[in-house]
Each structure stands twice: as C-alpha cells, then as structure tokens.
C-alpha cells in the first residue's frame, strides 16, 4: 500500500508546529521584552522549536525507502540536512512579515491549551476520612482560585497586544474644565465627580493644555482666599499625549519612567480621542478595580432565558468571550457593541432599531446624545457553544 502521502502529512505537521512556536516566540518578544518571566517563556518556546527540528531531521533520516533516502550517499544526506535547516530558517524569516494580530492568535492558543491542564481538577485528600462537606468546600475554593488564575493569565496575554484605544475613556466621557473656571466651580466638580486629576483646556477639549491635581487645591481651602487670587496655571501640570495605537505595555513603562498616572489620547488628526490612566492599564491585567467613587454600572447582565441587556460600550472581545466564539468581528473602526450596531445600520440607529446577526437579535433600547447606551440581545442560536 502506498503510504507516501502519510509521510508528507507528518512532515507538514512538524513544520506547522515549528511555525506556531516561532510565531508565538516572535509576538512575545515584541510584546513584553521587559517582563521578568519573558526569558523563561522564550526558553520554553525555543526548546519546543529545537524539539520539532530534531524530530523532523530524525523522521526523514529514519524513513528508509521513502524520499529516496536509501539511495543517497553520506554527502547527499548532509546536504539534505542543510537544506532542511535552511527551510526552518525560511520559516523564521516568514514569521517576521506576518501581522502581529495573526501571530498573537497562536500565542493565545498555546496559553489556552496550557490553561486546560491548569484547570484540571486534582483528587482531594485532607486526612478527614472522607468528609464530604469539607471536600465540597475545598473544591469550590479551589475552582475559584483556578478561575482567578485563568483570568490573570488571560489578562497578561491580552496585555501584550492591547492598544490604548481599546481601554481608554472615550472623549464624550471625559471630565474637563475651561482654563477660566472659578475656584469654587472647580472644587464643586472635583467633589461631584470624585476624580483626583482633571484636564483643563483652552477654547475646546481638543486643545488640552494642562492637568489639575485635586490635592493641589487643598491650600485654597484656607479661609480668606478668593477666586481672584486663584490662577489655574499656578498648580497646572504638563499633560502627556499619546496616540490611540500605542501599546498599553509601552505606555505603562512610560508612566513609570515619567512618574505619571494619566495621559490624553489623540487621534491621527491631533484631536482629543479619549483619556487613559494607570488604573485602566492595571485593570486590563487584574480585572476591575473599584473605589468609593465608582458607580455600580452593569455593562452586561442576564434578563431572562437567552435574553441579555448590555451597555453600548460593552466590548466585542468581552461579548465573544462570554458566548465562547467570535460571533462579532472587530475592525479598525470600532471595538464596542455600539460601534458594531452603527456599522451594521450605516447610520445612527433610532430607538427600537432591530437586526439579526449570527443567530443573535440586537435591539437598541436607549440613545443618549446620539450615543447607543443600552442594547437588548436575544440569543436565537440553534446550537449553543
């Protein structure tokens, strides 16, 4: 029976896995070169690459009567090994030209495979002669810890490739003041909003010229000080401007170097697109960090059987993660459910605008200043993932 095709398939699989680990190593190198764990992960990837290289060479040289190996002399076999090594080098060169978005898919896939083993349940033994209640408590606590580990690892992986635009506070949600604001009005805004840092602008929000720290207003609480004695430039701090496309891991290092906690995000035209803080970046790794000023706003909740209510700013990545598959596709134009709906409608949709997509029915429930704030989602998929 002719089995030549089987050997070609096996060789293709070996080359494919070498390509996957090469792509993963490359995206990790470009995404988190300053991490203390990076050398260890690099070593793991490179060991696997070396393993597949050795397997490939051993496989070909051991498959006598196939690929004409038996008829080759020693020099030709050496030449064959050199050609194989060159083919693996060609893969290294090819990976460099592939977009990071594709390479990150392989890296995340490897992490997910690792998480399958991390989340495997281990037999429980605590010396309590089979106390079922204690065992159940242990399993519940252990599952909770493993879920936290999974979320943390997932956050670290996404941290390497996330950009500022994906996690920033959008322009419409920025609290900013005019440079001519009175002292009392500024203090009222600080008390109401609860922000420790507030940008101020000249003419409009596209011309932010400084940042006010709430703590710098404390000396003005002394009796006798009046608005006419207050000059906003006396306590102004220089703002940091960053592009939308900047990697958040690079911004984190910039925050550390410049000892800053806030940056103004600008688009390609130099207009203010949003605002990002150190807390936003940390939340991308460890999850939501709430303080006494944060409102309990629910971005996604179950309202009934296969019915959900979500905020317009609920991200597409979060949507796909919840439903277990990439049902909604992200583009350079939007990152949220609201952006997806506008893209489908081709305009700012009215209230009760409805459409179906990949088994889901989307209905716009609330608009605030032409901004989609609430959406109802009905899951009509025939097969649930």
231-276 residue pLDDT tens: 899 899 999 999 998 998 889 899 999 999 999 999 989 999 999 9
- Pick from 82-91, 181-190, 220-229 the range whose average pLDDT is largest: 181-190
Confidence of residue 118 (pLDDT cuts 50, 70, 90): very low
Domain that holds residue 136: 1-161
Last residue of a domain, one of 108, 135, 161: 161
CATH number at residue 186: 3.10.580.10
Query: Are both 222 and 304 inside the same structural domain?
Result: no
294 in a domain, yes or no? no
Query: Are both 103 and 117 inside the same structural domain?
Result: yes
Query: Are both 42 and 109 inside the same structural domain?
Result: yes
Confidence of residue 5 (pLDDT cuts 50, 70, 90): low
**348 Cβ contact partners less than 8 Å away, ≥ 6 residues apart:** 342, 367, 370
How far separated are the first and last CA of the chain, in Å rounded? 41
**186 Cβ contact partners less than 8 Å away, ≥ 6 residues apart:** 177, 198, 212, 217, 232
Is the pLDDT at 128 greater than 50? The verdict is: no
Query: Are both 91 and 144 inside the same structural domain?
Result: yes
What pLDDT does residue 124 have?
A: 40
Query: Are both 171 and 155 inside the same structural domain?
Result: no
324 in a domain, yes or no? yes
Give the span between the Cα atoms of 173 and 339, in whole angstroms: 16
**69 Cβ contact partners less than 8 Å away, ≥ 6 residues apart:** 60, 61, 63, 77, 80
Contacts for 176-181: CB closer than 8 Å, 24+ residues apart: 176/200, 176/201, 176/205, 176/208, 177/201, 177/212, 178/202, 179/209, 179/210, 179/232, 179/233, 181/232
Q: Is 133 left (phi over 0), alpha (psi -120 to 50) or beta?
A: alpha
For the chain, the average pLDDT equals: 76
CATH number at residue 365: 3.30.465.10
218 in a domain, yes or no? yes
Query: Are both 95 and 6 inside the same structural domain?
Result: yes
295 in a domain, yes or no? no
Last residue of a domain, one of 110, 138, 161: 161
Is the pLDDT at 132 greater than 50? The verdict is: no
332 in a domain, yes or no? yes
Is the pLDDT at 365 greater than 80? The verdict is: yes
Give the span between the Cα atoms of 7 and 3, in whole angstroms: 7
The two three-digit tokens of residue 2, written as one number: 């002719």
Query: Are both 239 and 152 inside the same structural domain?
Result: no
Query: Are both 81 and 228 inside the same structural domain?
Result: no
Provide the β-strand partners of residue 198: 212
What pLDDT does residue 174 have?
A: 93
The reported pTM is 0.55
- Helices 74-96 and 38-62 sit at what angle, rounded to 10 degrees? 140
What pLDDT does residue 158 have?
A: 62
% of the chain beyond a pLDDT of 90 = 27
Expressed in percent and rounded to 5, the helix, strand and coil fractions of the chain are 50, 20, 30
Nearest 5 degrees, angle CA 281-CA 283-CA 288? 155
What is the three-class DSSP state of 68?
Answer: coil
**324 Cβ contact partners less than 8 Å away, ≥ 6 residues apart:** 385
Over the stretch 8-58, which tens digit does the pLDDT of each residue have? Answer: 677 777 777 777 777 766 666 655 444 444 455 556 666 766 776 677 666
Over the stretch 291-329, which tens digit does the pLDDT of each residue have? Answer: 655 566 678 899 888 899 999 988 888 888 888 888 887
331 in a domain, yes or no? yes
Give the span between the Cα atoms of 218 and 183, in whole angstroms: 11
Q: What is the mean pLDDT of residues 133-137?
A: 49
80 in a domain, yes or no? yes
Query: Are both 231 and 304 inside the same structural domain?
Result: no
Q: What is the mean pLDDT of residues 346-368?
A: 92
Query: Are both 58 and 156 inside the same structural domain?
Result: yes
Give the span between the Cα atoms of 341 and 115, in whole angstroms: 33
Domains in the chain: how many in total? Answer: 3
Query: Are both 27 and 152 inside the same structural domain?
Result: yes
Q: H or E segment at 367?
A: strand 360-368
The two three-digit tokens of residue 250, written as one number: 């690079």
What is the three-class DSSP state of 174?
Answer: coil
Lowest mean pLDDT segment, chosen from 28-37, 226-235, 281-290: 28-37
Last residue of a domain, one of 161, 187, 220: 161
Phi and psi of 265, rounded to 5°? -95, 130
29 in a domain, yes or no? yes
Instruction: With CA atoms as reference, report the closest residue to 174 among 103, 250, 260, 277.
Output: 277
Query: Are both 330 and 240 inside the same structural domain?
Result: no
């Amino acid at each position: 029976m002719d089995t030549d095709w089987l050997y070609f398939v096996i060789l293709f699989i070996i080359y494919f896995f070498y390509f996957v680990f090469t792509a993963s190593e490359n995206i990790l190198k470009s995404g988190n070169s300053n991490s203390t764990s990076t050398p260890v992960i690099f070593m793991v990837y490179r060991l696997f690459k070396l393993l597949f290289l050795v397997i490939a060479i051993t496989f070909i040289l051991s498959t006598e009567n196939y690929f004409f190996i038996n008829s080759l002399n020693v020099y030709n076999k050496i030449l064959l090994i050199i050609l194989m090594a060159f083919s693996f080098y060609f893969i290294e060169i090819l990976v460099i030209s592939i977009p990071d978005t594709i390479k990150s898919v392989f890296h995340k896939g490897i992490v997910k495979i690792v998480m399958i083993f991390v989340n495997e349940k281990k037999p429980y033994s605590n010396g309590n002669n089979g106390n079922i209640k204690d065992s159940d408590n242990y399993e519940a606590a252990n599952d909770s810890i493993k879920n936290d580990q999974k979320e943390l690892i997932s956050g670290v992986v996404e941290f390497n490739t996330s950009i500022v635009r994906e996690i920033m506070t959008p322009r419409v949600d920025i609290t900013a003041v005019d440079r001519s604001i009175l002292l009392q009005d500024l203090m009222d805004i600080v008390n109401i909003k609860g922000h420790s840092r507030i940008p101020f602008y000249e003419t409009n929000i596209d011309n932010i010229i400084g940042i006010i720290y709430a703590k710098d207003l404390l000396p003005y609480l002394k009796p006798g000080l009046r608005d006419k004695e207050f000059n906003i430039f006396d306590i102004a701090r220089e703002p940091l401007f960053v592009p939308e496309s900047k990697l958040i891991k690079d911004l984190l290092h910039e925050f550390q170097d410049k000892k800053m906690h806030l940056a103004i995000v600008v688009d390609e035209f130099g207009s203010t697109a949003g605002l990002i803080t150190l807390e936003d970046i940390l939340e991308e790794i460890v999850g939501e960090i709430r303080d006494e000023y944060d409102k309990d706003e629910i971005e996604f909740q179950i309202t009934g059987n296969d019915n959900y209510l979500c905020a317009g700013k609920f991200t597409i990545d979060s949507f796909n993660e919840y439903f277990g598959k990439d049902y909604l596709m992200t583009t350079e134009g939007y990152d949220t459910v609201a952006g997806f709906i506008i893209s489908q409608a081709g305009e700012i949709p009215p209230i009760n605008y409805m459409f179906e997509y990949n088994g889901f029915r989307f209905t716009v429930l609330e608009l605030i200043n032409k901004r989609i704030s609430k959406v109802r989602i009905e899951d009509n998929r025939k097969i649930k993932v």
